[in-house]
Structure 1
Amino acid sequence: MMYWVWTFIFLSVTYSRGTGACPDKCSCGTTSSCNGTYVNCRFRGLTTVPTNIPKDTCALLLSGNQLTTIENGAFEGLSNLQTLVLYSNQLTTIENGAFEGLSNLQTIYLNDNQLTTIENGAFEGLSNLQTLYLFDNQLTTIENGAFEGLSNLQTLHLYGNQLTTIENGAFEGLSNLQTILLSVNQLTTIENGAFEGLSNLQTLYLNSNQLTTIENGAFEGLTNLQTLVIENNPLHCDCQLVPFLSFAKSRSLGLGLLYEPTCHTPDNLRGTQLKNLQLQEMSRNCGLDFTTVTPGTTELAIVSTEVMLPSNADSTTTTRVTPHNDVISTTMVIPGIYRRTTFTKFSWIVK
């Protein structure tokens, strides 16, 4: 009997010296997933991050509590921490410096909270972070530089938020990022340069948003992109979408996850799969109105990359023209002026 008592005391003292006492309401032990102490504080009714966390903690579980904020220095001294689980709390904000000192952190779960914005510098110091879970929050915006310093981040989960746009530079510095999940948001547009610098990005999920068109150059610089999922968006299939489709075809990108993306408008193309569209078909749906300045009937043809208007024209007529070749650009000509406009690929010449 005494043997087991002394054994228990010895192990308790050894554990205490090696890891420190376990926080109140939490349980501590070891795990095969990391080298150090495993601290379980899940569903304990906590309103603040507990103190007295063992210094050698490698995994800290704080999910299912009532945390509303992560204060600066909350995890001070936990340089061995590799996994931090904070999902299913009531977090509304993350203070700058909240994760300071967590130089070995590889994975952080912040999903299923009430975060509305990610401030610049929120994740400063997490140079070894590889996976960041931010899905199912209430994010409406991401500030430029919000992910600054996450040079080793590989996967970023942002789906299930309320993002309406991705600003230029939002993902600046994420040079090793391979996958971004932005599905199930409220995105209506993707600004040119939004994904600038993501030369290693391979997979981008934009499905189940409110995208009606995708601007030319929106994915410029994504040299390693292999999968671009855009299904379940209300895409308007007209000439403005042609540059994106040309880009997708040239890179042999898969655009669907569960099914092929289709046109939402115009009515005569509703339900048509993007992969089956031809540039000629899409240009017919531009519904172009041309104001010209020649007496009588104006003839329009796609023959060059210039729009030329006779300078001696003395009257104006309006002619509605149905395009009959591949067209991606239009212009309005002004009476009495000779104009020349250069477009990306195709244009009209008035003759």
Structure 2
Amino acid sequence: MTVKSRGSTSLLVSFAAVCLVVFPGGRACPRRCACYVPTEVHCTFRYLTSIPHSLPHNVERINLGYNSLVRLTETDFSGLNKLELLMLHSNGIHTIPPKTFSDLQALQVLKMSYNKVRKLQKDTFYGLRSLTRLHMDHNNIEFINPEVFYGLTSLRLVQLEGNQLTKLHPDTFVSLCYLRIFKTSFIKYLYLSDNFLSSIPQEMVTYMPDLESLYLHGNPWTCDCHLKWLSDWIREKPGT
């Protein structure tokens, strides 16, 4: 083999090595996605209709925004116990089976803004014990199971604005419950603006002692005696 041909072969091998990004777990970057660093997978604007099957087990950040996803399955994120950031915004997702995210013990941020989810069931977020920020704004959510946030003791921010909520259960944002007597939530920032709420339960905010910001604008409030407590609460909480 001549020096020139050896050089060409070496260049091709190097180019192939760059193009085929291999993760620590041994899997290559999923087809139709980009992996600029070994722990990140970027799949935006790829017209995907399902979650890629070959997601590396050591991935820490996944961006699947702006695709054509309509549903998730129970095994889409199996084994991804190092994942910290999952972005599924701007799709058409309307179905989240129970325990879909159960393997994501390290997940801190889940962004599902601008989808078509209608219900948050009891086990929708099961297993997300490290979750701190949940973005479910601008969906079609009309029902939230009052136990949906049980166990999510790291949760600090919940975005639910731009949905179709008409009422909330007093326990809706409870994340820690002991014998159904002691109930509390560690949420600090709660966004409920631009829904269809006419009132909210007084107990709901009493279960959130750490609440710093509560966004309620853009709702058709019924400002009668049943809501007087909210005015009193606002005066009592000038720092909120």
Q: TM-score, normalised by structure 1?
A: 0.59
Aligned residue number for residue 74 of structure 1? 76
Is the Cα–Cα contact under 8 Å of residues 172 and 196 in structure 1 kept in the other structure?
A: no
> What is the CA–CA distance in structure 2 between the aligned matches of 1:4 and 1:135, rounded to whole Å?
48
Q: In the superposition, relative to structure 1, how do residues 206 and 22 fare at CA in structure 2: closer, same or farther (>3 Å)?
A: same
Matched, 1:210 2:204: no
Give the letter for the 2:134 counterpart.
L
Q: Matched residue of 1:200: which SS?
A: coil
Q: How does 1:90-109 map to 2 (within 5 A)?
A: 90-109=92-111
Corresponding residue for 1:23?
30
Tell me, what secondary structure is at the counterpart of 2:232?
Answer: helix
Q: Residue 179 of structure 1 aligns with which residue? A: 189
Corresponding residue for residue 158 of structure 1: 160
Q: Which runs of 5 or more structure 2 residues have no equivalent in the other structure? A: 1-6, 177-184
Q: Pick closer, same or farther for the CA change 1:18–1:246 going to 2, 3 Å.
A: closer
Kindly report which structure 2 residues correspond to 1:1-351, keeping only aligned pairs within 5 A, or say none. Answer: 1=7, 3-8=10-15, 15=22, 18-30=25-37, 36-173=38-175, 175-213=185-223, 242-252=228-238
Shift, 1:20, TM fit? 1.1
CA distance in 2, matches of 1:38, 1:184: 34
Give the superposition deviation at 1:104.
0.7
| Highest RCO, 1 vs 2 (Cα 8 Å, sep ≥ 6) | 2
Indicate if the aligned counterparts of 1:169 and 1:196 stay in contact, CA closer than 8 A.
Answer: no
CA contact (8 A) 2:160 2:193 kept: yes
Maintained 8 Å contact 1:177/1:201: yes
CA distance 1:46–1:3, change in 2 (3 Å): closer
Equivalent position SS for 2:233: helix
Say whether the 8 Å CA contact 2:21–2:35 is kept in structure 1.
Answer: no
What amino acid is the match of 2:103?
A: G
Q: CA deviation at 1:251?
A: 2.9
Q: Given that residues 173 and 197 in structure 1 are in contact (C-alpha distance below 8 angstroms), is that contact kept between their aligned partners in structure 2?
A: no
RMSD (Å) for aligned C-alpha atoms: 2.2
Alpha-carbon distance change, 244 to 50 in structure 1, aligned in 2, over 3 angstroms = closer
Shifted more, 13-22 versus 51-60: the winner is 13-22
Distance 1:52 1:242 in 2: 54
Query: What is the distance in 2 between the residues matched to 1:209 and 1:42?
Result: 33
For the pair shown, the structure with the greater C-alpha radius of gyration is: 1
Structure 1: give runs of 5+ residues left out of the alignment: 31-35, 214-235, 255-351
Q: 1:130 to 1:19 in 2, by over 3 A?
A: farther
Q: Give 3-state SS (helix, strand or coil) of 2:22's partner.
A: helix
Q: CA deviation at 1:6?
A: 4.9
CA 1:29–1:192 in 2, change beyond 3 Å: closer, same or farther? same
